[in-house]
């Protein structure tokens, strides 16, 4: 009923709105929000419709109210606790995001199979040996898993997470991972993204624009 892409854009709008709030801006028009989010005004209006919020033709949207409506829409359910598996460079980069991140999506545990990396706290997140995965996921009620492990370990790790009760996965391993149908999975394949950019760059002639 609610589309994948709409959710993605709402998340972007929300961040832009929070920035506007910090900057003291009280109202915003759809075309302005669109410009700062990289999409069109019509799209903004459609997406906002989905949250049930209604703006005023004279002043546009109230920044605080719309941010609230989107937050309400995106995070209506109870907080979704997150576990990270794989404390490599990528894993650490993800942990560093947490402070600025949403309290409704707290990163509560991280796992690794390297004994040197576990049994400590990084950025407020406890690190456990991967053997304790099921135990911690179940006792903490963790619902979202982040796969930042090598490809070879991805499928088995996903299986263990799903068995322990996880219903959402963010997969950074460049491999297709099978999950049971009730689990939502999103793949962020970095090397694929780079190949895509390189492909389209290859089609374009470089040109020194004067108007930058």
* Contacts to DNA from residues 43-82, by CB under 7 A: 43, 45-46, 48-49, 53-58, 60-61
Among a copy of itself, DNA, none, residue 11 binds (CB under 5-8 Å by kind): a copy of itself
Residue number with CB closer to a copy of itself (58 or 204): 204
- Nearest residue to 48 via CA among 79, 72, 25, 26: 72
Among 48, 75, 113, 139, which residue sits at the site for a copy of itself (rule: CB under 8 A)?
75
Please, which residue, 46 or 92, has the CB nearer to DNA? 46
Give, as ranges, the residues between 17 and 56 that touch a copy of itself (CB under 8 A).
Answer: 36-38
Tell me the window of 21-29, 93-101, 109-117, 126-134 that interacts with a copy of itself (CB under 8 A).
Answer: 93-101
Q: What is the DSSP string of 87-155?
A: -SHHHHHHHHHGGGS-TTS-EEEEEES-GGG-SSEETTEEEEEGGGHHHHHHHHT--EEEE-S-HHHHH
In the shown chain, the binding pattern of residues 10 to 49 toward DNA, with x for contact by CB under 7 A and - for none, equals: -------------------xxx-------xxxxx-xx-xx
Both tokens of 50, joined, read 């989905």
Find which of DNA, a copy of itself, none residue 165 binds, CB within 5 to 8 Å per kind: a copy of itself
> Which DSSP letter does residue 63 get?
H
CB neighbours of 35 closer than 8 A, spacing ≥ 6? Answer: none
* Interaction of residue 143 with a copy of itself, rule CB under 8 A: yes
Is 183 a binder of a copy of itself (CB under 8 A)?
Answer: yes
Partner touching 30 among a copy of itself, DNA, none, CB below 5 to 8 Å by kind: DNA
Tell me the sheet residues that pair with 56: 60
159 counts as binding DNA under rule CB under 7 A: no
Q: How many helices (H) and strands (E) does the chain have?
A: 8, 9
Distance CA 187, CA 174 (A): 8
Q: Which residues contact 5 (CB under 8 A, 6 or more apart)?
A: none
Binding site for DNA (CB under 7 A): 3-6, 29-31, 39-43, 45-46, 48-49, 53-58, 60-61
């Amino acid at each position: 009923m609610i589309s994948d892409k709409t959710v993605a854009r709402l998340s972007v709008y929300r961040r832009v709105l929070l920035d506007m709030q910090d900057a003291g801006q009280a109202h915003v028009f759809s075309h302005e929000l669109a410009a700062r989010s990289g999409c069109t005004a019509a799209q903004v209006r459609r997406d906002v419709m989905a949250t049930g919020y209604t703006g005023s033709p004279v002043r546009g949207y109230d920044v605080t109210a719309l941010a609230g409506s989107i937050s309400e829409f995106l995070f209506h359910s109870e907080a979704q606790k997150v576990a990270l598996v794989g404390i490599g460079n990528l894993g650490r980069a993800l942990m560093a995001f947490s402070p600025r991140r949403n309290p409704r999506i707290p990163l509560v545990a991280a796992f690794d199979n390297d004994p040197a990396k576990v049994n400590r706290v990084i950025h407020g997140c406890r690190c456990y040996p991967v053997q304790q995965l099921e135990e911690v996921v179940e006792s903490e009620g963790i619902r979202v898993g982040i796969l930042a492990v090598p490809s070879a370990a991805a499928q088995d790790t996903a299986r263990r997470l799903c068995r322990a009760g996880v219903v959402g996965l963010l997969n950074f391993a460049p491999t297709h991972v099978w999950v049971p149908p009730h689990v939502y999975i999103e793949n962020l394949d970095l090397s694929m993204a780079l190949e895509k950019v390189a492909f389209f760059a290859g089609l374009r002639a470089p040109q020194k624009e004067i108007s930058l």
